Structure 1
């Protein structure tokens, strides 16, 4: 594919500093939903560019919260810290060091620490309802959410706490099993009905749970995790693709709950992998009956304005594991393969680029057919690179695309930076 010397070149912009984000901010306009992707879970530049975009959206357009591909309980502790709730640690590192579910580096990293510090400083002089939040959308925190629910309700609502204990007792036989999937093969209908009943009870009483800031929201969302985690792991036990749909539907349900909580004027920033925020209908996922967050948000909130922003890079390094639960490694990210969008953009020059997909533009027409687009997960083998490309109709999958020619791995928090200097997580200035 040749993008040289065409009219659509005007929609390929330079991307070197935060001022170069102006065209993207113009495109976002009054949209209430901005979804920011990443081609890997372990790339420094994806975190820092998403942070820079988010800061501008918060400062210039009044966005309400950031929702990420992370567990609700852990990310709620970040939310408590950036809003300076009572009894929060003095340092963000104390919060992030409690992230202990693999892959810890996704959120316990220096890049997130720097962004959280910016958010706390931004929130410092704002009234409580105007403080910007930080929340997790994912479904994995079954045991943590259950423990939080039981402990909280024992103090605030003994009647519902009794129901929570029954639910916990129902799940307890499966907790000792290392595999969620194996555990859920044996889960009985009694557990499912008790989880649904618990969610119903908590939702009816959330307004009574505000003895602590956002306590009602926390109780409701932890209950929602219990309900959908049961469905997710049961689906995984069937060895089909339905667990993907359960997980992404849960993330959108959580997002909608958060949006409703923040009111009619709420504006939302989402950070997730490209495979979640890029519209599934523009990939091979649709043929397999799969949907994702980007597709569902477009379908449900089109009238409110939805902008999907993908990310990608040509070469560099990335933090990942060789297998699930493996020690983290800073791996080489090989040069993108021939026939991929990353290789095409590299041939235009080794500069970072911002692509804007406007309906009917020459660039959008050029990128309406499927082309390989790299996707790296938390488990990665650089020697099997050719299998890491998702056929994508780029101008249908995203509304904009940030291309970073050369990238480096994210900086996990438990790895001390050289000397006393924190990694350059804000290369463009705060």
Structure 2
């Protein structure tokens, strides 16, 4: 059975040119058109995954009318980039009187890398050539920025309604002792020492009640919308850090639900014809119902939620995979980045089948209306086939239990992008920074 599947994959795989080839992005034109295109990666530290997604993103923006890039990153950090690429007026990376540098929280290399910087500069350059309403924006979907988001809401209210700014300080004061180590808030809440839920919800409710009043002086309501998103982050982060101590499945689902709702609020704020490109890990992008996440742990993710809410025909999900090479990762959370060797893929994995095609890089179309039905049936029959997931932590010594999970590739993704041998992403710094960057680095990744 595996031999037949191997032949079917090799026959259906469409070889790709070099990523640097001007025609690379055009290889994915058939996936353009849906309201949302999700671009997943098999690790958070692989250069080819970033560069390939960057070229696909450029093509989707330039030729297919996509105007939103939403990434697995925190809203305040991403907003610094958005102000840069769209040349938005207003407070530039200044929260609570402190000038911030984007993406300085662990893992810095995930977004502070050369591949990402090149895309950001391309977006800024391209945006200067089109009217403001046609400019592509850059947005963060994640919820780890509780402290930064609190400061952003207070900073906004201090400008538009100082009395409400004082109220925000009082309500968010409940969380202030925990902003530097928010996971400790969850533990304190579990032990009955603290629970800030009521204050956080009341703050969000009052902010939303004043939407029209606060937005009246803005021509497009950008600053209120950002403040609103930050207030939702505080609410959901408060829930998330409590959920961490009850159930990993519920905290995962809460996080991905937050990412989806952030995306939905962005769509509500933007014109009706807005189309989004999402960058996140395969574990977030690939439909969770067809992996162990959904099958065994009842977790949901943003890919699943997009399909369920927008319809499968309005969503395209592309994942990336590799056989071996190097990856930028850490051994433990908050450790410095290392360039590690990636173990060759296991014989019972989808990666191994892709490797055995002998094709250095390819895209495999898995959509029901495009793929060979025999191929899809053969994939469906592989009930124990595994997929590798490397995040910001890589533990090659325990790779099977740490990084492999069951997946039905044909329904998890609409397309699978393969690079047989890959290299580590090019970070702007290798040491987890403790102090501000030197002044000779350039905005948006340094000042």
- Distance between the aligned counterparts of 2:399 and 2:291, measured in 1? 19
Q: Which of 19, 22, 47 matches 2:23?
A: 19
Equivalent residues of 1:139, 1:228 under 8 A apart: yes
- Distance between the aligned counterparts of 2:138 and 2:4, measured in 1? 38
Between 1:179-188 and 1:42-51, the stretch displaced more is 179-188
Equivalent residues of 1:97, 1:414 under 8 A apart: no
Q: Which of 62, 65, 75 matches 1:62?
A: 65
Equivalent residues of 2:9, 2:375 under 8 A apart: yes
Alignment of 1:244-255 (within 5 A): 244-255=252-263
Provide, for residues 209-243 of structure 1, a one-character-per-residue CA deviation record: whole Å limited to 9, x for no partner. 46597211110110010110011111012244210
Provide, for residues 249-301 of structure 1, a one-character-per-residue CA deviation record: whole Å limited to 9, x for no partner. 00000010011111211101000000001001101112211111111110000
- Distance between the aligned counterparts of 1:300 and 1:266, measured in 2? 16
Q: What does residue 380 of structure 1 align with?
A: 394
Q: What does residue 155 of structure 1 align with?
A: 159
Q: Does 1:197 align with 2:202?
A: yes
Q: Against the structure 1 CA distance between its residues 64 and 96, is the aligned structure 2 distance closer, same or farther, given a 3 Å change threshold?
A: farther
Equivalent residues of 1:37, 1:311 under 8 A apart: yes
- Distance between the aligned counterparts of 2:154 and 2:45, measured in 1? 34
- Distance between the aligned counterparts of 2:162 and 2:328, measured in 1? 45
- Distance between the aligned counterparts of 2:92 and 2:163, measured in 1? 29
Equivalent residues of 2:147, 2:180 under 8 A apart: no
- Distance between the aligned counterparts of 2:128 and 2:189, measured in 1? 44
Between 1:351-360 and 1:248-257, the stretch displaced more is 351-360
Q: Does 1:78 align with 2:81?
A: yes
Equivalent residues of 2:67, 2:134 under 8 A apart: yes
> By how many angstroms is 1:386 displaced?
1.9
Q: Against the structure 1 CA distance between its residues 381 and 5, is the aligned structure 2 distance closer, same or farther, given a 3 Å change threshold?
A: closer
Equivalent residues of 2:6, 2:357 under 8 A apart: no
Equivalent residues of 1:74, 1:99 under 8 A apart: yes
> By how many angstroms is 1:148 displaced?
1.0
Aligned Cα RMSD in Å?
2.4
Q: How many residues are matched?
A: 411
Q: What does residue 103 of structure 1 align with?
A: 107
> By how many angstroms is 1:350 displaced?
4.2
Equivalent residues of 2:32, 2:60 under 8 A apart: no
Q: Does 1:365 align with 2:377?
A: yes
Q: What does residue 352 of structure 2 align with?
A: 343
Q: Which of 203, 228, 237 matches 2:245?
A: 237
> By how many angstroms is 1:304 displaced?
6.1
The SS at the match of 2:233 is helix
Alignment gaps of 5+ in structure 2: 94-98, 432-440, 442-447
Q: TM-score, normalised by structure 2?
A: 0.86
Equivalent residues of 1:96, 1:108 under 8 A apart: no
Q: Does 1:264 align with 2:272?
A: yes
> By how many angstroms is 1:38 displaced?
0.5
The SS at the match of 2:341 is strand
Q: TM-score, normalised by structure 1?
A: 0.89
Alignment of 1:306-345 (within 5 A): 306-345=315-354
Q: Against the structure 1 CA distance between its residues 74 and 167, is the aligned structure 2 distance closer, same or farther, given a 3 Å change threshold?
A: same
Alignment gaps of 5+ in structure 1: 90-94, 417-421, 423-430
Alignment of 1:344-423 (within 5 A): 344-359=353-368, 361-368=373-380, 369-370=382-383, 371-387=385-401, 388-414=403-429
